[in-house]
Amino acid sequence: MTLVDDLRAILGSDRVHSHPLELLVYNKDAGVTTGEVVAAVLPETTQEVAACVRVAARHGVPVVARGAGTGLAGGAVPTEPALLIVLTRINEIWDVDTVARTAWVGPGVINLDLSRHTEPLGLHYAPDPSSQAACTIGGNVGANAGGPHCLAEGTTVAHILAVEMVTADGDVVVLGGKAPDPPGLDLRGVVVGSEGTLGIVTGVLVKLTQNAPAVRTLLLTFDSIQEAAGTVSAIVAAGIIPAALEMMDRPMVVAVEAFINAGLPVDAEAVLLAEVVGLEAGVAAESQTIERIAGEQGATSVRIAADDAERALLWKARKSAFGAVAQAAPDYYLHDTVVPRTALVDVITEVYAIGERYDVQMLNVFHAGDGNLHPLVAYDSREPGKTEQVRAAAEEMVRVSVAAGGSLTGEHGVGLEKRDLMPLVFAPVDLDAQARLREAFDPEGLLNPGKILPRGSRCYDYGLTALPGEAAP
């Protein structure tokens, strides 16, 4: 029996795709790299996922988990011919506990659907990637996704209490639980952000957050990106951590405005979208302080959303930024780095200089409050040599961010895209430790191989001596 025959025996023909035309939709995510998929399966239960993993292991075929495929780092793109396990059909919200403020959900639940479901209960799921209308909770766990409202609330890892996971040999385990501060190693924390390399998540216990009684959203306009970045640092230095603090530069504002028509100031060099939440009195006070600080830093105007409709429009504009880039060029390459907030001005200035040096069209939109930069290069991949030029510029932007004390990725994950840059931030001995941990979960290396860790991450590959108690190979 072939792998596909065995998979059909478990799931039936309808939920096993192996025709090359069907597989075209599965061979890439929202990034720029493609991979080879042997078959894509759509299980509907944990037991079906476990059975598919066992069959793939018997055939020696690697397994890659996939949610909605909105990842930008190639996390769900196979590096070698693989079985894709697509989790979108395990999409039920099983158990909402309004007292504990938790819910068990399937990995295929769409992020925004979860908050819509709990809205009547006065609760929401806080991490809100801009892709939240499409991406899944399982994919968010895989990438440890962030979002505009993660500044005050923390990224996905801060909102996951437990995961149910199918291991490399097809067992089902639950890591974590409702009880706070459980004993033992925090394997739940290790799995969040592991991009499907440690197991396939089939259920997620999420923390729900109470909806704020009052919200105020401010759009601040500046004549320079440096003034806007300075305002970000000054707000935090004043002791205010807004719920969100997002920045867009002029090229991005122009593209978004042409797309959404939200009344954004297209002549401003930069805009900041700030949101404060809490009790009315606190919200009013913080909003006034932000207005004052922005004025001191050179803001030319402040617009406060008058009602929920205007607030929703401003957020729609911000969250449509990547889609809006189609106004500028047919392709984009998006980078995701993070820098200390205090280095924002210097790094942004350097990023613009790189854009000019490589003669690429750049638009910037980012979670400024947490120093998460998204330099986005718009280009036409049909132009000879352009893709290579764009990649070279992008890599330099990453190097500048790291040199300023930042890191490779703020939220999109390492995947394939940043894998070979890992030695910029990890010493060989660190990579070795990560490789050993991974081997403990997946000794045969069948779970999303070739991701996150560069080839030769075991220390002896770097020519180091063996670790204590281990003979060098």
Ligand X SMILES: Cc1cc2nc3c(=O)[nH]c(=O)nc-3n(C[C@H](O)[C@H](O)[C@H](O)COP(=O)(O)OP(=O)(O)OC[C@H]3O[C@@H](n4cnc5c(N)ncnc54)[C@H](O)[C@@H]3O)c2cc1C
Where on the chain is the footprint of ligand X (CB under 6 A)? 29-30, 64-72, 75-76, 87, 107, 129-131, 135-136, 138-140, 142-143, 145-147, 195-196, 200-201, 322, 411-412, 415, 448
C-alpha of 90 from chain center: 21
C-beta closer to ligand X: residue 259 or 462: 259
Minimum CB distance to ligand X smaller for 202 or for 226: 202
At 37, give phi and psi (nearest 5°): -105, 125
Q: How far is the CB of 108 from ligand X (least distance, A)?
A: 8
Q: Which is nearer to ligand X, 71 or 371 (CB)?
A: 71
By C-beta, is 173 or 353 nearer to ligand X? 173
Closer Cβ to ligand X, 174 or 472, answer by number: 174
Decide whether 115 or 136 has the Cβ nearer to ligand X: 136
User: Smallest gap, in angstroms, from Cβ of residue 309 to ligand X?
Assistant: 23
The nearest distance, CB 471 to ligand X, in angstroms, is 34
Nearest-angstrom CA–CA distance, 344 and 347: 5
**Token pair for residue 194?**
């592991």
d(CA 77, CA 150): 26
Q: Among residues 226 and 407, whose Cβ is nearest to ligand X?
A: 407
Beta carbon nearer to ligand X, 110 or 393: 110
Helices (H), 119-172: 137-143, 150-153
210 — phi, psi (to 5°)? -70, 140
Phi and psi of 423, rounded to 5°? -65, -10
3-state secondary structure 420-440: HHHHHCCCHHHHHHHHHHHHH
- Which single residue is written with the structure tokens 């806080």? 126
Between 299 and 376, name the residue whose CB sits nearer to ligand X. Answer: 376
Q: What's the min distance (Å) between Cβ of 411 and ligand X?
A: 3
| CB 202, min distance to ligand X, A | 7
Query: Taking the complex as a whole, how short is the minimal distance between the CB of residue 361 and ligand X, in angstroms?
Result: 18
CB 233 within 8 A of CB 342: yes
* Distance of alpha carbon 388 from the chain centroid: 24
124 or 412: whose CB is closer to ligand X?
A: 412
Token pair listed for 41: 């399966």
* Residue 130 or 287 with smaller CB distance to ligand X: 130
Where in 227-269 does DSSP place strands (E)? 244-249
Contacts of 226 (CB under 8 A, 6+ apart): 345, 348, 349
Q: Are 444 and 462 in contact (CB under 8 A)?
A: no
Complex with ligand X: residue 195 or 257, whichever CB lies closer: 195
Smallest separation, CB 199 to ligand X (Å): 7
Q: How far apart are CA 119 and CA 141, in angstroms?
A: 22
Q: How many CB atoms lie within 10 A of CB 464?
A: 14
E-strand ranges in 188-344 read 200-207, 209-210, 214-222, 244-249, 270-278, 301-304, 331-334, 337-338
* Strands 82-86, 37-41: pairing kind: parallel
Concatenating the DSSP letter of every residue in 364-422 gives: EEEBGGGTEE-EEEEE-TTSTTHHHHHHHHHHHHHHHHHHTT-BS-SSS--TTTTGGGG
- SS3 for 342? helix
Taking the complex as a whole, how short is the minimal distance between the CB of residue 327 and ligand X, in angstroms? 14
Task: Specify whether the CB–CB gap between 215 and 233 falls below 8 A.
Answer: no
Three-class secondary structure of residue 86 per DSSP = strand
Residue type, 452: I
The least CB distance from residue 29 to ligand X, in Å, is 5
What's the closest the beta carbon of residue 357 comes to ligand X, in angstroms? 27
Give the nearest distance from C-beta 26 to ligand X in angstroms: 10
Integer Cα distance of 313 and 316 in angstroms: 5
* 390: nearest Cα among 331, 321, 341, 339: 331
Shortest reach from residue 157's CB to ligand X, in Å: 12
